[in-house]
Amino acid sequence: MSRRETEKYIRAGKISVNGEIVKDLGRQIDPTTDKVKIIGVKIGGLGEKETVIINKPRGIVSSRIKSEGKTVYDLFPQYKHLHIAGRLDKDSEGLLLLTNDGVLAKKLTSEAHVVEKEYRVFVREAVRPNVLSIMSRGMRLPDGMTLPAKTKRTGAHEFTITLVEGRNHQIRRMADAVHLTVGRLVRVRIGPLTLGTLKSGEARTLSKGEVALLKKP
């Protein structure tokens, strides 16, 4: 459905979100939770399915809340109709996905699905093998034990870590627990999808093939 057609139905009072008739043409929906109906027929979302990969710069907020700072939607206003599928901390950078595909969003964010997320971590202190071993096995944090992770030393002050869970500030807290100070944190992969040659502050639309790979069990 085109944007013009959508606006026509809204003006006619024939589109509802979660049982409530939509009156605001600028109404935003969350494809992972909102139930949208048009003339009594349930649909997954308005318009064509679209998923965008962004290389988020440090200092940009993964949110619509402007009070927290400059947001990804300020950086890419053309994608305001899309929703963030897996936040990235303000002080972190790298791979971020925006989508209006509810099936994909649920796959990437639901605890019921295991999706690997890989990060490059740059620290001030020297990276010792025993430290990475501790992080790999799982660590006790104030909010409980972390799941086992994959780690690899890639430099004197650099390593990669692959997680299958997404706790708040998890990598920074894990590093702090083994006396490492994170200076830079970059997400480089989600499932089979990597940043590739995408530069910081750039974005591109994923192909249908890339989306299909992300959806695979």
Locate CATH 3.10.290.10 in the chain: 3-43
Please identify every stretch of the chain with a pLDDT value under 50, giving residue numbers as ranges.
Answer: 41-45
Class of domain 3-43: alpha beta
Nearest-angstrom CA–CA distance, 149 and 114: 12
Locate CATH 3.30.70.1560 in the chain: 117-190
Closest CA to 31 of 100, 110, 113, 109: 100
Closest CA to 98 of 57, 65, 63: 63
Give the number of other Cβ atoms within 10 Å of residue 166's Cβ: 14
Question: Which member of 30, 34, 89, 91 is catalytic?
Answer: 89
In degrees, rounded to 5, the angle at the alpha carbon of residue 42 between the alpha carbons of residues 40 and 45 is 125
What beta strand segments (E) does the chain contain?
15-17, 20-21, 36-38, 41-43, 51-56, 83-84, 93-99, 117-123, 140-141, 144-145, 150-155, 158-163, 182-190, 193-194, 203-205
In terms of CATH, what superfamily is 117-190? Alpha-L RNA-binding motif (3.30.70.1560)
Q: CA-CA-CA-CA torsion for 162, 168, 173, 174, nearest 10 degrees?
A: -30
Q: pTM for this one? A: 0.78
> So what's the pLDDT on residue 4?
63
Locate CATH 3.30.70.580 in the chain: 51-111+192-215
Q: In 3-state terms, what secondary structure has residue 167?
A: coil
> So what's the pLDDT on residue 42?
46
- Does the domain at 51-111+192-215 match CATH 3.20.20.70? Answer given as no
Angle between helices 102-109 and 208-215 (to 10 degrees): 40
Which residues are CB-neighbours of 57 under 8 A, at least 6 positions away?
Answer: 75, 93, 200, 201
**89 tagged catalytic:** yes
